[in-house]
Chains A and B, each alone.
Chain A
Amino acid sequence: MSAFTYVGKRLPPVDGEERASGRAQYVTDIKLPGMLHGKILRSPLPHARIASIDTSAAEALPGVKAVATWADTPGVSFGPIPAFEDWTILAKDKVRFVGEEVAAVAAVDEATALRALDLIEVEYEELPAVFDPVEAMKPGAPSINGRERNVVMPFSLERGDVDGALAGADLVLEEDYYTNQVYQAYMETMAGVVRPEKHGGFTMWLPIQIPNKSRLTYGKALGVRPEDIRIIKPFMGGAFGAKMEVDLHLVAAVLARKCGRPVRIVNTRHEDIVAGNPRVPMHIHLKMGFMRDGRFAAKEVRIVAANGGRTVYSPPIMATACYRVDTLYTFENVRAEGYAVDTNTVPTGAFRGFGNSQMTFPLETMIDQAAAQLGLDPVAIRRRNAVPTGYVSIHGWEVGSSGQEQTLDNVARISGLASRRRQAADTGPVRRGVGLAACNHVSGNKAFFPPFDGSSSIVRIAEDGKVIVFHGECDMGQGQTTAFSQIVAEALGARLEDVTVAEVDTQVSPYGLGSFATRGTTIGGMGVKKGADAAKELLLQAAAEHFGADILALDTEQSEVYLKADPSRRVSFGHLARGFIFTHGGLPMVAQGHYVPNTVAPDPKTKYGNVSPAYVFGAHVAEVEVDTETGEVRVTGYWASHDVGRAINPMQLEGQVQGGVAQGIGWALMEDMITREGRIANPTLLDYRVPGSKDVPRVTCDFVEPVDPNGPFGAKGIGEPALNPVPAAVANAIYDAIGIRFTELPITAEKVLAALRAREAAQRGRGGQGFV
């Protein structure tokens, strides 16, 4: 393909000015007539029976319009995943984590609602609690949701001959790793404004990633049909996976129903941290066999993951961690065993990477270790096992395009990896090192929503020639609106400024699956492209009549149709649309398009399938300086190469990569939800440290564009892979700098210093024989 008008251009976000100037309306900006303010009373205990709740004093407080407890809810159990329905909107007779919703108040303002919360008397009988998933599986552990050994879901899979391959391997490595619980730290806390409607339904203004799927869950929870719930998603201040189904939305609905008025609930930052939807912590045991030439002989993994007190998405996240990396390299012998386990901690869910980021840390550090022990170059060992275009993985995943080798070569080149390595011989307290890590990911996940996969759009040409695109995906701030505008403008031949992408409103938008699994640009993008293609047909037909020419003789550009043979003869979209609309009694000039990917849900038993229409690859290099006196690790340089199929907008891609790297550096080095006896000890952004601008170096980006057969103009996704390899790249760089491998995140200064001192002590004690 030759020149594009908009695809591949460094265009600023189409909604950037609106957002930067404060004109963009977020859920928290919405004020409805008669709107009340809701607040949630949350459990102060990690595990307890509720003996009694007395709300009378709260109800008597002037300004309070409704107080709700479990008795005010439909009382059904429900959940995001039909197989694990362990939610109630408000706790029935038991609480399972600190922060669980026990009661709620709607009042004329937040201060009154807060005062009313203090007046609700709850009597608890404390129960023994368990916080670590490994402990929770042991016999005699307290039962949280009545499941055997507290196991929500086990997972197992085996392909090839793992034992034989391990027996024949030249090198076998085995290690325990731990990836900790971290918070998404989006700017906008969870929120909702819910208005009761006359037929018993609701209109909900929500920051949400999956409005249509949520309607199914919410309909069941509220005892109404999903169609009776209208969800509108205005501008959104980030999500990173956290804003799928959110109980707060339902609490607002219960209050709204009870008092017959709109109710707004906005989490404080504290509530958002203690009762949000953080990353699934995982204990990961990894064993790998390697051949002398660098080939990966076999991989065996065992994962125990914390579900928290009720099930959000930890089962599929654990499963993803078990085997998504099997398509990062050409593995032939793999075995995985995993458990998602109830714990009396905050429920855990999706966070950029969906388990794949957790697993990338052990895998990519172990590969680094193997390369060092086998005397192989870290790029070479990965290239040796790289996935080529057209590859079908052992699990049936069809890789339609792969730029993996090129991402490895490119990141090595732009970082000057070869010349940067092994500077550990520096003198002075500061040691420098570099580390490489690779990653893969999907661009969609058929397993996430079994009823269907795909996307669609409605494209309307208004009488002035302006183009409005309706879709059911969700921009949570990542730039989907801009990407869709570019795709539609390119496909339709419209001017970019003539294209408006509508916000999602389930009353008018197509049934979209929403934002997850890095699917927006690829699957969502195909949906809007198909709509634009169909709209182009409509315009060409109208123009064919206008010119008395054959459709094939016409094409579009800059919101005009022209004769290919004589481009000076042109007619505007507006002229054609007016002609059409005014001769059809005002009939909208509307086209629809849809895309059904070739994905196959994994077989429940064998897990064989093909979850995504396209697969992505990436490779990162981090350079660090380790201060051996303070243990402080400073990331001083960062390079990232990603296979994106086709760059729709390099500037937005860079933004995603920079954000992913910053978030990954936070996870690698400082972010940690410190939990003591089920209570989060650092529930503020003062004590929960996300990196500041000075903690993140300039990130140099590179994009490889193999043009995928299944993406719009060949595009694949970027959101999650941008983060996946960061902790491993940083950990490998730390190893390069000081010769110590860390297996637990985060790698805090204190841990680094302790490890250095332990090594020193061991070297002194054992005549220079380090134990690390």
Chain B
Amino acid sequence: MLSGTEYVRPSTMDEASGLLANDEGAVVLAGGTDVLVAAFAGRMSVSTLVDVSSLPELKGVEDWGDCVWIGALTTMTKLCASDVVNRVLPGLGSAAAAMGCWQVRNRATIGGNLCNASPSAEMGPPLLVYEAAVDLDGVGGKRRLPISEFFKGPGETALAKGELVTGIRIPKPDAGLRVAYVRRALRRSMDIPLVNVAVGVQMGDGVGVDARVALGAVAPVPFRVPVAEEILVGRPLTDSVIQEAAEGACCPARPITDVRATAEYRLAMVEVLVRRALIQLAEESV
């Protein structure tokens, strides 16, 4: 199955990016929960697996004062257990906890989740809501991209040849920003979402001063929904405002029909999930 595939474990960034730049079929191996599954199923042909687990630049979760830096190799299990994540970025922690199952969360990395670029990627909506940036490094040097510019399509990212994601940089949100993450899947565990939603709202003087709504699995990439956000700003979080925002969120959604659900059902779920996320926040802020 993987006979003929080379395996290398570079110990420096330069070595890693060199390998990736010069070998057309070289693929980064992080937790392997996407890449190995695809390779074994024959959906992906791999000449060289470049195991990045020895690169120190990709590791750690750090509190840098004004922002939190999360190494690309950080697993879901580590995200769930991280103090700073739970304190400052609880929406990211709930998304990490919702992914797959224990075994998958023990292997799955945040970098792998982003680079795999599934429309339903668990990390997509919360990172959009937290307005994260992605740190990249490669043969062309270091650069940083807002998360909203990183996803290009299903399985496609802004990564250049020979480039790696080293980490995610998340500005610390205002203490008043509350974030909720909700998803709908066909089973209660070990299932990818039909729709996933992250919502952030900050209230001031009884009205929304900041609102962020992000959707996953209903378009080629996860995205923010300004229409819904505008509805929430400057108004109280009442049932009718919530309903208006939930309905508004459906406008830009363009879900597909597949064997798991119809587009109509996914669209109906956008409304329900956005509403439920907002209700959760409204209840929390009382």
Contact = CB atoms under 8 A, between A and B. Distances in A.
A629 B272 CA distance: 7
A111 B261 CA distance: 35
B186 A689 contact: yes
10 contacts: A111-B1, A670-B186, A670-B187, A689-B187, A691-B187, A692-B190, A694-B187, A694-B188, A694-B189, A695-B188
Contacts of B260: 687
Contacts of B286: none
B76 to A, nearest CB: 17
Nearest to B184: A630
Q: Give chain A's interface secondary structure class.
A: loop
Given A630-B269, A630-B272, A692 B189 contact: yes
A289 B186 CA distance: 38
Interface in B259-276: 259-262, 265, 268-269, 272
A60 interface: no
A692 B188 contact: yes
A691 B191 CA distance: 10
B222 to A, nearest CB: 20
Nearest to B260: A687
Interface in A681-735: 681-682, 687, 689, 691-695
Contacts of B187: 670, 689, 691-692, 694-695
B3 interface: yes
B183 to A, nearest CB: 11
Contact of A753 (B1, B3, B259, B268): B268
Contacts of B1: 111
Contacts of A682: 259
Contact of A749 (B186, B190, B191): B186
B186 A111 contact: no
A226 to B, nearest CB: 38
Contacts of A634: 188
A334 B261 CA distance: 40
Interface string B1-18: 101000000000000000
- Which among A111, A691, A750 has the greatest number of chain B C-beta atoms within 10 A? A750
Contacts of B262: 750
A489 B265 CA distance: 57
A674 interface: yes
Contact of B191 (A629, A689, A753): A689
Contacts of B190: 692
A574 B187 CA distance: 55
Interface string A299-324: 00000000000000000000000000
Interface string A619-635: 00000000001101010
Interface in A735-753: 749-750, 753
Nearest to A694: B188
Given A692-B190, A692-B191, A750 B261 contact: yes
Contacts of B191: 689, 692
Contacts of A749: 186, 265
Contacts of A687: 259-260
Contacts of A694: 187-189
Interface in B101-124: 101
A201 to B, nearest CB: 34
B3 A111 contact: yes
Nearest to A631: B265
Nearest to A672: B259
Give the 10 A-B residue pairs with the shortest CB-CB distance, closest first: A694-B188, A682-B259, A694-B189, A629-B272, A692-B189, A750-B265, A681-B259, A692-B187, A692-B190, A687-B259
Contact of A674 (B3, B259, B265): B259
Interface string B24-41: 000000000000000000
A251 B260 CA distance: 34
A694 B190 CA distance: 9
A420 B61 CA distance: 49
Contacts of B188: 634, 692, 694-695
Contacts of B261: 750
A518 B232 CA distance: 61
Nearest to A109: B3
A397 B279 CA distance: 59
A692 B3 CA distance: 33
A761 to B, nearest CB: 14
Contacts of B3: 111
A192 B95 CA distance: 43
Interface string B163-201: 000000000000000000000101111110000000000
A368 B262 CA distance: 31
Contacts of A670: 186-187
A749 B262 CA distance: 11
A398 B269 CA distance: 53
Given A693-B189, A694-B189, 6 more contacts: A630-B184, A687-B260, A692-B187, A695-B189, A749-B186, A750-B265
Nearest to A632: B184
Interface string A419-455: 0000000000000000000000000000000000000
Contacts of A691: 187
B265 A753 contact: yes
A695 B269 CA distance: 20
A632 B269 CA distance: 11
Interface string B244-286: 0000000000000001111001001100100000000000000
Nearest to A683: B259
A741 B198 CA distance: 35
A474 B6 CA distance: 44
A629 B182 CA distance: 14
Contacts of A632: 184
A717 to B, nearest CB: 30
Contacts of A695: 187-189
Contacts of B265: 749-750, 753
Interface in B68-92: none
Interface in A491-532: none
A356 to B, nearest CB: 27
A635 to B, nearest CB: 11
A750 B188 CA distance: 16
A630 B194 CA distance: 12
A682 B187 CA distance: 16
A84 B268 CA distance: 49
A514 B182 CA distance: 49
Interface in A634-692: 634, 670, 674, 681-682, 687, 689, 691-692
A691 B187 CA distance: 7
Nearest to A666: B187
Contacts of A674: 259
Contacts of B189: 692-695
